[in-house]
Amino acid sequence: MRAWSVNDFSEDARVSDQQVQLRRSPKYGTFMALGAGVGVLAAVVLSTSQPSDGTYSIGQVIGFLSLVLGVVGVGLGAAIALIFDRMFAKRIRTVAAQRTTVTPVDDREGAEPGDAS
């Protein structure tokens, strides 16, 4: 199999100008993970700051509150990401871009690029 080189590409590459829309978007997974982390942190703070009545161990309280507040945090993180997405949607810019189409060429008649010599 032959390796590609710069000389394998044609000199007359096709270039076309296009108008494209440039838009920023938040990463939803990051916002949701951060919300879950804040929810778990809130659960730890809430469970350790309150006095225990002895019915449930501190680990059980932290686990239950982490589950509930983690899910709430994921929901709030997703909601905040949606709000940011709507705010960024107002700032869509149209910019010029160039699309270049390059086709490989081979000196041998009837040979496909990459065929063994």
pLDDT values of the chain reduced to their tens digit, one per residue, 117 residues:
566 555 555 556 778 888 888 888 889 999 999 999 999 999 999 999 988 888 888 899 999 999 999 999 999 999 999 999 998 888 888 888 888 887 766 555 555 555 555
**Angstrom distance (rounded) from CA 84 to CA 24:** 10
* Three-point CA angle 41, 69, 77, nearest 5°: 85
Q: What is the pTM of this model?
A: 0.63
69 and 51 housed in the same domain? yes
**Rounded percentage of the chain residues whose pLDDT exceeds 90:** 41
Q: Check if the beta carbon of residue 75 is closer than 8 Å to that of residue 35.
A: yes
CB atoms within 10 A of CB 2: 12
36 and 74 housed in the same domain? yes
First to last CA, the chain: 8
Domain of residue 68 covers: 26-91
Residue 83 CB partners (closer than 8 Å, separation 6+)? none
Classify residue 69: in a domain, yes or no.
yes
The domain tally of the chain equals 2
